[in-house]
Amino acid sequence: MPTQQVIDTLLAAYGWNGKPADHIVNMPGHGLAGIANKTTLWHNLNANLWRYARANNWVWIDTAGNNGSTSHSGPIAPGKPPAIPGAGTGGIPLLDGTNHAKSCNCGIFNTVARQLAWHILGFKDTEVVNASTDKTFVTLPGSSTFDVAWTGNVRTVTHDFGTIQALKFTNHSFSKGPDGNFTDATCNVPSFGNKTDIMWFDLKRAKSTILVDRADHAGWLVVDTVYNSPDRLPAGGPPYYLIAASQLKAKRGLFPLGGPGLTQTMINAVSDQCATCVAWPNWWLLTPGDLPVEFKNWARYFLPIPGYSSGV
């Protein structure tokens, strides 16, 4: 159980008084001193980090950013305590305020939580560790990231990005906590027992085809396994397709100009990329019922479409 005196002494030892690290662990109304249960302390720390990042406009980017080196060994800085092996100085510039861009990816963001746990709150380096998945997947509907500008990049014909609030990821990092369960600070998920618990569904590539350039193939995906919230899927499936907005726009001529359902007007109105600091691709979650005959006849060679032969 870290006392307030111990927390403040350690913050001073690292030179983090008045810095983001201080504001996170000593957040008004959400202080961490005196919490005896390590699992509760860990969950509260991650929640504080998420709150602070959103309140201070931290940005989710697709690289580690200017955030130290996870391979660093020795003192975190001259005269400072030693780095944790495997974590190094990863995320430290976000804690000491020297990363003025306030940007990072999921791996660094969760590393920031672990750095505070190890260096300030008394956790052993074996009690909170890195964890990850290599799946391509979409998060649960209603996900809320630490980047307040990123509200989601998956939509259907009837529900837009802000209504669904789901995000398409390829690979994702989080943490494993002292109770053996996982925690994802990036989307404020305090505890989950299985990696698939944070997934709406995972995805696989469509078949290779000469109809789609190799460079664009990653923009055509098929839902593989639905893990949660099947009731939030659009009517008309399975199967379900996740198609990049840019790729669908390139084939908009196969859709009707107007009328009910998915039209050229609707496709044109959706930007290819999110309006965030990083140009994350936008995605359409569709079913066979959303697709006109002209599109089905073209796509049947690489997408599974009931009633349409692949030609093989």
The strand pairing partners of 168, in sequence order, are: 138
Output the average pLDDT for the chain: 94
**pLDDT at site 264:** 97
Predicted confidence (pLDDT) per residue in 122-171, tens digit: 999 999 999 999 999 999 999 999 999 999 999 999 999 999 999 999 99
Region 40-52: what's the mean pLDDT? 98
Per-residue burial over 4-40, b = 16 or more CB atoms within 10 Å of its CB, e = otherwise: eeebbebbeebebeebbbbbbbbbeeeebbebeebbe
Res 310: pLDDT: 74
Average pLDDT over residues 172-197: 98
d(CA 102, CA 106): 13
Residue 80's pLDDT is 87
**Nearest Cα to Cα of residue 27 among 1, 6, 55, 2:** 55
List pLDDT tens digits, range 64-77.
Answer: 999 999 999 999 88
Contact 183, 177 (CB under 8 A): yes
Give the pLDDT confidence of 239-284 residue by residue, as tens digits.
999 999 999 999 999 999 988 899 999 999 999 998 676 778 999 9
Percentage of residues in the chain having pLDDT higher than 70: 97
Q: What is residue 277's predicted lDDT score, i.e. its pLDDT?
A: 66
pLDDT at 218: 84
Interhelix angle 106-119/38-55, rounded to 10 degrees, is 130
Mean pLDDT of 6-13: 96
Q: Return the pLDDT at 309.
A: 75
Query: φ, ψ for residue 228 (rounded to 5)?
Result: -145, 160
d(CA 100, CA 113): 19
Q: 215 falls in which pLDDT band (50, 70, 90)?
A: low
**What is the pLDDT at residue 78?**
87
Written as six digits, the tokens of 8 are 């403040």
Strands (E), 88-219: 103-104, 129-139, 154-155, 168-176, 182-184, 189-192, 199-205
State the residue for tokens 């990850």. 132
The answer on pLDDT for 311 being more than 90 is no
